[in-house]
Amino acid sequence: MNLLFVTLDQYRGDCLSLLGHEVVRTPSMDALGREGVCFSRHYSQAAPCAPGRACLYTGTYQMHNRVLANGTPLDDRLDNVARMARRLGYEPTLFGYSDQGVDPRLVSDRGDPRLSTYEGVLPGLTVGLDLSSHGWQVWREHVVAAGYDVPATMDGALSTEPERPEHLGISAFLTDSFAAWLHRQDRQWFAHLSYLRPHPPYAAAGRFAREYDPDELDLPVAAGPDRHPFHELALALPFTAAPTGEREMRRIRSQYYGMVANVDEEMGRLRSLLEASGQWEETIVVVTADHGEQLGDHGLLGKLGFFEQSYHVPAIVRDPSRRGGHGLVVKELTEAVDLLPTICELLGAPVGAQLDGLPLTAYLDGSTPPWWRSAATWEFDWSFITVPAGPFEWPWDRRLDRDHLTVRRSATEAYVHFGDGSWRCYDLAADPTWRTETTDPGVVLSAAQAMLAWREENADRTLTGFLLQDGGTGRWPEHSIGPASR
């Protein structure tokens, strides 16, 4: 089978008309969900981009891959989706970007440009189109050749997308590039399409900038009165605080929804390309996002902190050979780390012991695993913006390691544990907006114990399944090392 792996950047999981959003219309994504399986309560494990993608690409929680910020290197010991595909004989090809920093221990030349960027290429990927800040000029040249003036900076070019036709937008350009590549393929392929939108700047391309009337849109969830100090910190930062004026907030939301509509149209174009080439029924499609977007909720913009708007993302999987689950909308809690083991099983690769996620294949066949998890978990680290003043002595000063939080979100509550020992527990059954706390000792203790059990259950297991006896096979003699399988 071919594998089309699509990531949308900063796409909120509730922005699907299939799931009943009161404003956005996503006919292409809806159609894909009706012909595949839509995971309606799917969560990224980290933010921002590089941490979220590290979890997605490697199938590991942040506590294992330790990519905490844009710029944290990705440990080369970790297996990933591209390396897995190569072992199966594919040449996994990237269109867009993957935002993974190189492991500096592999680079001997200190002047190597890879040591100065977080926008490196995930090991194992072949680059078909580079739309990172290092390669985006190829899109600008395309637009200039069509007769338009385009600012020389990437942010400026993106901010002026409403002034040009949508067929010249960065999303359409990526699809066009993939189409040209697809025409040249003469064997099974694996393509990773990484769309930038609906990531800011909040400026949709062409007609999509006018798709939604700001005066007719929903408004954000306001920040609650009792706020944790981290929430107060985020509200004080200029790049994470949402505008206080309603007019500007409505404009932002209208442009965000327009960008959602734009990438939805591109999903429809991808389908048309595959149908026209006769490959739709030969291609597994996986669509998701690296993280979500606050969009003004709780007074915040972007992706950060503990609120679920930054982590709830779409996930749709269509395997044409597994029709038992087609049309299913899964309400169980699923995670980004589940997608790599799922792809492994769909392509016939072993599910490595490194992987923290669980395969979603049972859902694709129309059944619900009786052993499925009861909560989703994510992490956020903000030590990169809170470096303490004064001497920073290693190894005795561990203040930065406390600038971290972990969230365990079940169907009824969300428990947030901070590295300094403080916590919050939100009663989601009573108030799904995350503004009503509970201090019920039984509820809080149970949630805290469940989080501790989660960490114990998910300790690194890469080599722990083996004992150095009888040839090193130990407790799992049916499995071999390289990479270790469960």
pLDDT tens for 53-109 read 999 999 999 999 999 999 999 999 999 999 999 999 999 999 999 999 999 999 999
Residues with Cβ within 8 Å of 478's Cβ and at least 6 positions away in sequence, in order, are: none
Q: Tell me what percent of the residues of the chain surpass a pLDDT of 70.
A: 96
Q: Would residue 470 count as lying in a domain?
A: no
What is the β-pairing status of strands 315-318 and 328-335? unpaired
DSSP state of 216: G
DSSP state of 408: E
Q: Which stretch of DSSP H or E encloses residue 441?
A: helix 441-457
Average model confidence (pLDDT) across the chain: 94
Q: Would residue 416 count as lying in a domain?
A: no
- Report pLDDT for 155: 98
Q: Would you say residue 485 has pLDDT above 50?
A: no
pLDDT tens for 355-366 read 999 999 999 999
Q: Would residue 439 count as lying in a domain?
A: no
- Residue numbers of the domain that contains 61: 2-374
Q: Would residue 449 count as lying in a domain?
A: no
pLDDT tens for 245-258 read 999 999 999 999 99
Q: Would residue 55 count as lying in a domain?
A: yes
- Report pLDDT for 478: 45
Q: Would you say residue 305 has pLDDT above 70?
A: yes
Residue 336: which pLDDT band, with cuts at 50, 70 and 90? Answer: very high
Dihedral pair phi/psi, residue 7, rounded to 5° = -120, 135
pLDDT tens for 201-232 read 999 999 999 999 999 999 999 999 899 999 99
Q: Would you say residue 456 has pLDDT above 80?
A: yes
Query: What CATH number has the domain bearing residue 83?
Result: 3.40.720.10
Q: Would residue 121 count as lying in a domain?
A: yes
Q: Would residue 172 count as lying in a domain?
A: yes
What is the β-pairing status of strands 190-195 and 2-8? parallel
Q: Would you say residue 198 has pLDDT above 50?
A: yes
Count the domains in the chain. Answer: 1
Q: Would residue 402 count as lying in a domain?
A: no
CA-to-CA separations, 41 to 85, 334, 357, in angstroms, rounded: 27, 6, 15
CB 484 within 8 A of CB 80: no
> What gap in Å lies between CA 167 and CA 35, rounded to an integer?
27
The string of DSSP codes covering 123-176 is TTPEEEEE-STTTTHHHHHHHHHTT----SSHHHHHHTGGGS-GGGSHHHHHHH
CB 452 within 8 A of CB 482: no
- Report pLDDT for 388: 61
Can the peptide bond before residue 198 be classed as cis, meaning omega within 30 degrees of 0? yes
